[in-house]
Amino acid sequence: MEEEVLTEEVEPSTRGAESGGPETGKGFAVAYAFVNRRERTVAEVRVRLERVGVVEGEIDAVIAELLEFGYLDDARYARVFTEDKRTLEAWGSERIARTLRERGVERELIEVALAEARGGDGLGADGAPGVEDDGELERAVALLGQRFPSGPVAERDRERAFGVLARKGYESETAADAVREWARRTTV
């Protein structure tokens, strides 16, 4: 009787396998293995399936299934990516947005994720979208405090600090404000 115990495992779908051919159904196996490693975007999965030679019709079916079962969600990906990069690597909004665009996430989803990370609607005091918030400035100043705890001694130190923030993806204006604030705090 022990052999009759049913266990439910999540396995790749075999949709499309009925139509025959050695490559049919390959897309599901490749896609499930690909999304099993880490969170992916729809565009990343599409490119991966194209690279291994899956036909367009099957790619669409695979992506539809992954979306249906929640394995793909670009909005979730953008939120998690934004929070991780802000928290773990101190990235600025520009670098986060650029990287998400490169990974195929829609601009609207990126804006929503950045706005949520700011803790609001993503609008500045003047109502303009994409304005850097005070939290971004504080994160930049904190990063400089960690990287350069003794503060700036010469103009070259300020230039290096600005360069660090620019490479991390902070807007030029935010980086300049952060360098000024960092210098003020460390020389007081």
**Contact (CB, 8 A) for 14 and 32:** no
Per-residue 3-state assignment (H helix, E strand, C coil) for 21-40: CCCCCHHHHHHHHHHHHCCC
CA distance 75 to 77: 5
CA distance 130 to 143: 21
Surface-to-core class of residue 99, CB atoms within 10 Å of its CB (0-12 exposed, 13-18 middle, 19+ buried): middle
Same domain, 143 and 170: yes
Same domain, 40 and 83: no
* HSE, side-chain direction, 13 A CA sphere, residue 5: 3
CA distance 92 to 33: 32
Residue 125 lies in a domain: no
pLDDT in tens, the chain (188 residues): 333 333 333 444 444 444 444 445 789 999 999 999 999 999 999 999 999 999 999 999 999 999 999 999 999 999 999 999 999 999 999 999 999 999 999 999 999 999 998 875 544 444 444 444 678 899 999 999 999 988 888 899 999 999 999 999 999 999 999 999 999 888 86
Domain edge (last residue) among 52, 68, 84? 68
pLDDT at 77: 97
Residue 126 lies in a domain: no
Residue 159 lies in a domain: yes
Does the CA dihedral 182-186-187-188 come out positive or negative?
positive
User: How many domains does the chain divide into?
Assistant: 3
3-state SS assignment for residue 80: helix
> Domain span at residue 26?
11-68
pLDDT digits (tens, 9 = 90+) for 91-102: 999 999 999 999
Q: Indicate the length of the chain as a whole number.
A: 188
Helix or strand holding residue 142 (H, E): helix 134-147
DSSP 133: P
- CATH number for the domain spanning 181: value is 1.10.10
**Which pTM was predicted?**
0.71
